[in-house]
Amino acid sequence: MILMKKKLGLAIAVMMILASATVLFSAGTVEAHAPSDVTIDYDIEEEELTVDITHSVEDPQDHYIENVVVEVDGTEEIDEEYDEQPDDTSFQYTYDLVVEPGSTIEVTAYCVRFGSGSDTYEVEEEDEDEPYVVEFWVNEEDEDVVIPYDEEVHVYAEVNNPLGEEVVMVVTVYEDDGDQRHQWEETIEAEGTGVIDNSREDHVDDWEPGDYEVELVVDGYIDESIDVTVEEDDDDTPGSTTIFLALL
C-alpha cells in the first residue's frame, strides 16, 4: 500500500511538472512569435527590392526581426542582420538587387526569439512584343549624374524594337526651368535597334553649370529620364561652360 501511494505521488508530481512546462512553453511561444506577414515587391527598372514585415511586439529593441535573407533562384544574395526593428508593428526594408527577368525571389525574415516568415516573387519576363531599353545613360550612369565643369558629357540611348513596324525614339535635354536645350531623334526600323550616341568630337554644345533632365521617349512605350548636374567651375572661369559630347 505504501509503495502504491509513493508511485501515485510520483506520477502526480511528474504530471504537474509536465503541465507547468506546457504552460511555460505556451506562454513563451505566444510572446516569441514569427512575423505574421512578410510581403515583397521588386522594381526591375530601379533594381530595388522592397520587403514589408508585420511583427507585433511590446519592445522592438528586445523582441525583433534579427535577420532577413534574400535568395534568387535558390542562391543567397543578401543576408542582412539587425539588432532591433524600426517599429513595434509594421515596417519596411529596401535593398539594391539586380535580378534577371524570369527569376524567383524568396525573402525570409527571422524573429530573434522564435519562428520566421517568408514570401516569394516571380520577376516577369520582358514583353518582347514592345520596344524596350537596352541601355540609357549619361557618362555611363543611369541616375543622379554629377559632372565636373571641365568634363565631357556623353549621352547614350539604345532601344530594341521587336514590332513589325517602325517607331521613333527621342532624347531631349531640358534645363531646370523646363526649357529645351538639346534634342536628338532616331527612327527604329521594324524588328531593329536604334541608337542615339551624342555627339561628334567636332560638335561643341554649351552646357552651363546647373541642373538638367535627359529624357528618353518612345511614344506609347517608353518614358525614362536621368537627372544631370553640371558643377560650377572651381576656378570661377568667366563666361559659359563649353563641354564636348564625345562619340564613342
- pLDDT tens per residue, range 45-81: 889 999 999 999 999 999 999 999 999 999 999 999 9
Res. 246: pLDDT tops 90: no
Res. 240: pLDDT tops 50: no
pLDDT of residue 207: 75
Res. 200: pLDDT tops 50: no
Task: Give the three cell numbers for residue 142.
Answer: 543611369
Q: Please state the rounded mean pLDDT for residues 192-220.
A: 79
Q: Which of 85-99, 142-156, 160-174 shows the lowest mean pLDDT across its residues?
A: 142-156
pLDDT of residue 150: 78
Range of 106-115, 124-133, 150-159, 201-210 with top mean pLDDT: 106-115
Res. 205: pLDDT tops 80: no
Res. 34: pLDDT tops 90: no
CA proximity to 177, closest of 226, 224, 208, 211 = 211
Q: Please state the rounded mean pLDDT for residues 183-209.
A: 78
Measuring CA to CA, how many Å separate 220 from each of 184, 201, 223? 18, 33, 8
Using an 8 Å Cβ cutoff, are 56 and 113 in contact? no
Bond from prior residue into 199 cis (ω within 30 degrees of 0): yes
Res. 179: pLDDT tops 70: yes
Which tens digits make up the pLDDT trace of 148-168?
A: 877 888 899 999 999 999 999
CA proximity to 90, closest of 42, 62, 56 = 56
Q: Radius of gyration over alpha carbons of the chain, in Å?
A: 30
Measuring CA to CA, how many Å separate 153 from each of 23, 78, 161, 170? 70, 35, 26, 18
List domains and CATH numbers for the chain.
37-122 (2.60.40.10), 132-244 (2.60.40.10)
In degrees, rounded to 5, the angle at the alpha carbon of residue 136 between the alpha carbons of residues 132 and 138 is: 170
Which tens digits make up the pLDDT trace of 15-28?
A: 555 444 444 444 44
pLDDT of residue 241: 39
Burial pattern 135-169, b for ≥16 Cβ within 10 A else e, equals: ebbbbeeeeebebebeeebbbbbbbbbebeeebeb
pLDDT of residue 15: 53
- Could you tell me the pLDDT band of residue 208, with boundaries at 50, 70 and 90? confident
Q: Cβ-count burial of 239 within 10 angstroms (0-12 exposed, 13-18 middle, 19+ buried)?
A: exposed
pLDDT of residue 167: 95
**pLDDT above 70: percentage of residues in the chain:** 77
